[in-house]
Structure 1
Amino acid sequence: MLKFEMERGGQTFKIVSCRECRFVFVADPEADTANHIDIDKIDWAFRPRHFQIRRLLLAHLTAGQQVLEIGCGRGEVGYLLRPDPIQYVAYEPARGLSDFGIRAGIPIVQHTFNGEQTADAIVIDNVLEHVAEPARMLETAAASLNPGGLLIVITPNLDDIRAISPTWRKRNLWVPPDHINYFSARDIESMFERVGLKARRFKFSPLSLKDWKFFPRAAAETLGLSIFGHNVYATK
């Protein structure tokens, strides 16, 4: 069902929703939405979430266990994990981004992850909104987790409270062809349930005092509300 059409970058995109499940996505997206940027035009782009992901991983894993990241971009999480006693490998098909990480010594495989290996923790950070079959990617990740493994997923939120601002919406939400899927809290929970996992919000668990800006998000999540991005994890 067509929700609306929008113009962006000289292209017209149809934003549609499924009549049965109400999932919102771009109709007929481009086959390749990876950002093949010039390696010499980028630098590291560390965000608070990268540090929060590291804290969750270190709280769950023991020395020698394996972390696998699907769609790592430059590899910021892998860079932060360098001094830690765990093993890290990532998959990233976008050249330029992956070239940058490899040049810095991050172990990145330059193609899409298709379940080639298992891991004790899998990270999917701001990736599901870019891919044609997000449910299949999550299914592959869940199947690749070792028993007791940790799955971390971060995506934008269709119902983000900040979307009340037209400027924020234009810059961060409706941004095809980069983002082609738009997840509600119900969508995230349903995808996890289909692979036999229960999605849990980050809440305060990965936050430090330096993350005080994220305390409102954590407080809302503690109350069962998802008012900003979806930051969730599950154990197998």
Structure 2
Amino acid sequence: MDRSPRVVCALCDAASFVPKLTVDRAGERFSIVACADCGHVFVADPPADTANHVDINKIDWGFRPRHHQIRRLILSRLKPGQRVLEIGCGRGEVGYLLRNDPLTYVGYEPATGLSDFGIRAGVSIVQEVYEGGAKADAVVIDNVLEHVAQPRQLLETAAASLNPGGIVIAITPNVHDIRALSSAWRARHLWVPPDHINFFSEKDIASLFRFAHLQPKRFRFSPLRLSDYRFFPRAAAETIGLSIFGHNVYATG
């Protein structure tokens, strides 16, 4: 596995790190460190290619409740005819859910297999890394920031792609997820390089959005319906300022 050692923090560009732990996965050993300046936790020696190039014939749709919540949040904010852009769309679950809505959707996904699967299902996907230049009224970054070498630049690119009054939606795991109290959960979902190479705290998310000149807001109850009752405790916690699971946030440009 080719590696791309990081010489500066992906958030604040500081060059001093504090060792945190080593993780053995997939026959490889990875060093996880914390920035000595801002405290951001990340993999110091991630793989050069973090895209998940899976076999199209070995995957299926991976719909999650968050995909439906993203759709509801978009529909509550956008008007017919407006444009949705998704960065790192994977298979394109959000685009597929929006297929009958009066909006224009395009996703960007460089990973083959995942993007091939969505394209085969009729989702509009560009098989490239999104580097800016397009304009949209909603930009979605769903479980992507934890995978990329430059999360700060990615969010800044997303913000620059917003039309006036547009919305950025970002979802990412929380390094302080309450479920991390379980060692089995940590081993399966938290410290999982080479898939996840950034581990965000609430402070990190605030910093990322501040660099992009955005003010993040938690989802709270806004995208929930009565059928989502099992997510009400999470929404209640977000309402009083706590992210007890992942970070589900949005901001208006």
Under a length normalisation based on structure 2, what TM-score does the superposition of the two structures give? 0.92
Q: Which residue in the other structure is 2:43 paired with? A: 26
Alignment correspondent of 1:214: 231
Structure 1 gaps of 5+ residues are none
Q: Is residue 2:125 matched to residue 1:108?
A: yes
Q: Secondary structure at the match of 2:123?
A: coil
Which residue of structure 1 lines up, in the alignment, with residue 104 of structure 2? 87
5+ long unaligned stretches in structure 2: 1-17
Match of 1:145 among 145, 149, 162: 162
Aligned counterpart in structure 2 of residue 171 of structure 1, from 184, 188, 197: 188
1:209 maps to amino acid = L
Residues 56-101 of structure 1 deviation map (CA, whole Å, 9 limit, x = unaligned): 0000000100000000000000000011000000000000000000
Equivalent residue letter for 2:194: P
Q: Is 1:200 aligned to 2:207, yes or no? A: no
Aligned to 2:33: 16
Alpha-carbon distance in structure 1 between the residues aligned to 2:165 and 2:216: 14
**Partner SS for 2:131:** coil
In 2: Cα distance, 1:31 partner to 1:144 partner: 26
Residue 209 of structure 1 and its aligned partner are, at CA, apart by 1.2
Q: Distance in 2 between matches of 1:199 and 1:6?
A: 31
- After the TM superposition, which segments of 4 or more aligned residues of structure 1 sit over 3 Å from their partners? none
Residue matched to 1:224: 241
Q: Which residue of 2 aligns with 1:37?
A: 54
Percentage of pairs with the same residue: 69
When the two structures are superposed, what TM-score results if normalisation uses the length of structure 1?
A: 0.99
Aligned residues between the structures: 236
Deviations 1:8-54 (A, max 9, x none): 11111100011000000001211111110000001111100000000
Paired letter, 1:42: I
Cα shift at 1:216: 1.0
- Give the aligned partner of residue 188 of structure 1: 205
SS in 1 for 2:84: strand
Q: Which amino acid aligns with 2:27?
A: G
